[in-house]
Structure 1
Amino acid sequence: MSTLSSGGPLSPVLAAAPAADGEFVEVTDADVDQVVELWRACGLTRPWNDPHVDIAEARAGDTSTVLVARADGRVAASAMAGHDGHRGWLYYVAVAPGLQSSGLGRAAVVAAEAWLVARGARKIQLMVRTTNTDVLGFYERLGYTDQECTVLGRWVDSD
């Protein structure tokens, strides 16, 4: 397992012990229910996306992951990162409501960016729901700007 520290320049290091509070590590089986609870507390889940499936799919390959940090032994922050071969993407950046504005959100983004850059990403993007205007200032302070594009999508039946 590799860890990414939330302080200073980030680089993968081998974990000799459980991650200290505030260190971002790849999610474990034991973390999954806490991560889903965090995402729900932050209003990030939607009925049409099963968060357990999203986590499982992110963990299934080498091009995506879910990073978590703990506070007082519980998952306190997360960021899902994925590299599509061209760009890196951030999803599910979340900080426990009582710990927001503590620097953990910035640390989550920096850890996920480091994970993506280590895998060749030269540009990192994210999507913000139009209803989540409160978070736009946070991302702007981290250097993210409107890319002046429209995201289109369609569900594909798995049958």
Structure 2
Amino acid sequence: MEIAEITPAHVDAVVALWEEAGLTRPWNPPAADLQRALDGATSTVLGGFRDGRLVGTVMVGHDGHRGWVYYLAVAGAERGAGRGRQLMTAAESWLVEHGAVKLQLMVRGSNAHVVGFYDRLGYADADVRVLAKRLD
């Protein structure tokens, strides 16, 4: 799998992948999230391509200290082949190159099965409570 930054030409494929992976929510338009990441000075979306076809993504960004990962998705037919691990390694490398010293991510409570994946990659529960407020 080759990993490269997503471009606006990939928007439809990215959104379709995120929908297939169950990452989208009706109140949070995925194309708008993607565009914000692509337009940001401290963020991007990395895509995993196999034979020219998008098979995975990871959104990555940082605040100058902490890096964040969102929208890690791997196409159903590609799961179990190490694609998620490759994308997370690429995200970690991108963050190191951009000066982040820590990586954080959030897993929805309804997505508990993915916690084992992150455990195997060396991530641990940070024992913090995430609070949120919609600003739109």
TM-score by length of 1: 0.83
Separation (CA, whole Å) in 2 of partners of 1:148 and 1:114: 25
Whose Rg is larger?
A: 1
Q: Does 1:61 align with 2:19?
A: no
CA distances 1:57-113 after superposition (whole Å, capped 9, x unpaired): 001122000000112321100000010122000000010011101011000000011
CA distances 1:111-140 after superposition (whole Å, capped 9, x unpaired): 011101101111001000000011000000
SS in structure 1 at match of 2:65: coil
SS in structure 1 at match of 2:46: strand
SS in structure 1 at match of 2:109: coil
Bigger fraction of residues in helix: 2
Separation (CA, whole Å) in 2 of partners of 1:29 and 1:58: 11
Q: Does 1:49 align with 2:28?
A: yes
Partner amino acid, structure 2, of 1:62 = A
Q: Does 1:121 align with 2:100?
A: yes
Tell me the C-alpha RMSD between the 2 structures: 0.8
Partner of residue 142, structure 1: 121
Q: Does 1:86 align with 2:65?
A: yes
SS in structure 2 at match of 1:70: strand
Partner of residue 109, structure 1: 88
How many pairs align? Answer: 136
What percentage of residue pairs aligned between the two structures are identical? 54
Runs of at least 4 residues of structure 1 off by over 4 A?
A: none
Unpaired runs of 5+ in structure 2?
none
TM-score by length of 2: 0.97
Unpaired runs of 5+ in structure 1?
1-21
